[in-house]
Structures are given as structure tokens and as C-alpha cells.
Amino acid sequence: MKRVSLLLSLMLAFSLVLGGCATSEPELAPEPAPTEDTTDEEVLEVDPELVGTTVNVFAAYGGKEEIFDQFEEDTGIRIEFLDMSSGEVLARMQAEAGSPIGDIWFGGGVDSFIAADNEGLLERYVSPFAVNVPEEYKDADGAWTGISLVVVSVVFNTDVAEEKGAAIPETWEDLTKPEYAGELLMPDPSISGTAYTTLSGLLQTFGEDEGWELFSRLDANMPFYAQRGGEPPTAANMGEIMAGIAPGIATGADEGYPVVTVFPKDGTPWWPAPVAIMEGASNLEGAKVFVDWCLTKHGQEVLATHDPRPPVRDDVPMPQVLIDTGFPEADLMTIDFYEIGRIRDDVIDKWQKDFAAKK
């Protein structure tokens, strides 16, 4: 497994269109190590002809290198990936509609997956392992399937807060206070699934008018919008800002940074992080194996180990770090994900006109 540059990925996609997927000499696929509660239904079978082939992945997921390494070890199928936010993947798929740009879309904002499905850009596939995933975490027709849950938190630097005499916020309303002026950072909603889900969650939870008014007051405390979901928590860790809106609980506290995780009491945005097969995938069968693997108990445990998020299967333990930060007590927003996917263009247009253009 190796990370490929944008140029290399474009060359690869072009070569796949012309010549198909290159394979190495077939060999027997390694079988995953069995566990005590492995059942016949949990055995992931890999066609030996897929061993040595490559699945091309667009990824927005933590710990992806380790996850892909384990998939390769378990199946013999190689992964080449490009790190790209969900908004960027959607824009590229729309621009290149009709031409396959990859095989798998791994992680990101579910709204972008829904928008892509509405435009016929995703391959429908219902994995046999999806039976273990609750209905609210997957598309009924197999356009996408949740592999984990993402919760939006606020990474808060207590040293910066002490210097400025600010208290740890408890609600979204707290973050609009003057003491947080210039100290709040979130990603660009037109690029980041984290930011778009946060914005649309506020609109659904508080109502459109009140939600936009609340966001306007939050915007007043933001000096700019970050280009990636990982930038705000990193900036908070480093003390460059006081509070960063972040996907998951990437606080950096375990690395010694003076930060805490805050789940706003007036509603914590969340979404199922999906995996999907791109329409026209060059290695369709390999892509199906990847989806299947992600949904096995073993695959879910690998995902939770390398990027601690709530798993979608109830037989996989919650990562301890989530428990330690108080996630089980978080008040998750009630969000209609299909609705936020439907109105995505309208919301982004308003944000760009009323907020982004003024930064």
C-alpha cells in the first residue's frame, strides 16, 4: 500500500480506463485469523484471482494507512489511495461524470454520498455483512453503508483559555461570546463534511431562521475557515486558537496537549461515515471485497483501533477513549441526512454568499 500523488492518481485512472486493472500472478488469498465467535457468515471469502490486484481509494479517514495495510494482509488485495475530503471527491466525480476516477470512496460526510447517489455516481451494492448494520446507518438500496459514526466535538485549549480569562464552553451559544472572538475555527462547509454536517445540524435543530442567526454569531468569532477537517483540532492543540470544531475526538490530550473535548449540551452533530463503490469502478469485485471487509466484525475492530469512532455494529466494543471523554452522555442531534443531502447546494450557496465572501 502506498499513497499516490494527485498526478499519479490521474495517470492511473486513465490507464485503467484504457487497459483494465493490471494484476500480478494469482496466489492463494490469506485467510483472516479466526476468532472464538467467528461464524460461517463472518468468513470473508476472497477469489484467488483478485489477489495482487489493486483497489483505488479516495479516503477521508484517520489511521487509513494502518487500516489499508491490514486489509492487504487479510485479503492479498492492494490499496492505493488519495487523501481527499468528501466535498472535493464529490466535485471531482461531478466534473468527471461518466469516467471512473477510482473504485472506493472511504469516509467523509454522508451528505456528499447522498448527493453523489442522486446523480447516479455510485454503484449500488448490498454487502451480505450489512445485515449487522442498523437501518439508520445505511442506504436501503446499497448506495452507501456506514462503517463508523462521526461525532462533532469542540477541541478546547485550556492554557489559551486561562490566558484570556475564558471558561470552558458548554453550548454552541457559549461559543458566540466575546471572549472567543478570533479564537474559534471550523473547516469550510463546502469542502468538509464535518463543517457541513455541523451547519446543517444547527439548522435542523434550532430551525432555519434561528439556526442561521446562531451560525452568524459563531462566524463572527472565526478569523477564517480551514480547508481540512483536521486543521481546527491541530490549531487548538498547538495553542494557535482556543477552540476548534473537529470530527471525532482528536483532542491530542493523550499526546500531552492542554486540551479537553467538549460535546455541546444543546446538541452534538453526528453522521454515519460511509463506504461506497464508485460507478464504473475498474476493480468492481475487489471493491466489493473491501466493503465486505469493512463490515465484518474483524474489520470493524480494525477501524475502531486505528481511528477510535463509535462502530456501526453493536457486537464491537466502544473504544475506551470515547468513553473517557464522556461521549456516551453526549446529546446527539436528530438529523435527517437525506434532507441535508437534498438541500446541500442551497445551504452551501447561502454560506458562500453571506459568510465566506466576507472573510
pLDDT tens-digit readout, 95-153: 988 788 899 999 988 989 999 999 999 999 999 999 999 999 999 999 999 999 999 99
70 lies in the same domain as 194: no
Q: What is the per-residue pLDDT for 29?
A: 39
Extract the C-alpha cell encoding 134: 442498523
Check if the beta carbon of residue 49 is closer than 8 Å to that of residue 26: yes
Per-residue pLDDT for 206 more than 80? yes
CA distance 133 to 95: 32
Under DSSP, the state recorded for 133 is: S
Are 170 and 180 found together in one domain? yes
With the C-alpha atoms ordered 153, 157, 158, 161, is the resulting torsion angle positive or negative? negative
- pLDDT bracket for residue 14 (50, 70, 90): very low
Task: Grade residue 253 by pLDDT with cuts at 50, 70 and 90.
Answer: confident
**Residue 223 belongs to domain with CATH number:** 3.40.190.10
> Three-class SS of residue 294?
helix
Q: Residues 138, 186: one domain?
A: no
Whether residues 276 and 251 fall in one domain? no
Residues 199 and 347 in one domain: yes
Q: Hey, what amino acid is at 95?
A: A
Same domain, 277 and 264: no
Poorest-confidence range of 39-48, 135-144, 237-246?
A: 39-48
When divided into structural domains, the chain yields a total of 2
Residues 145 and 18 in one domain: yes
Q: Are residues 45 and 76 in the same domain?
A: yes
Q: Which domain holds residue 124?
A: 2-149+271-322
Asked whether residue 145 falls in the same domain as residue 69, the answer is yes
Is-contact 264 333, C-beta < 8 A? Answer: no
Residues 265 and 276 in one domain: no
Burial of 190-227, coded b for 16+ CB within 10 Å and e otherwise, reads: bbbbbbbbbbbbbbbbbeeeebbebbeebbebbeebbe
Same domain, 295 and 339: no
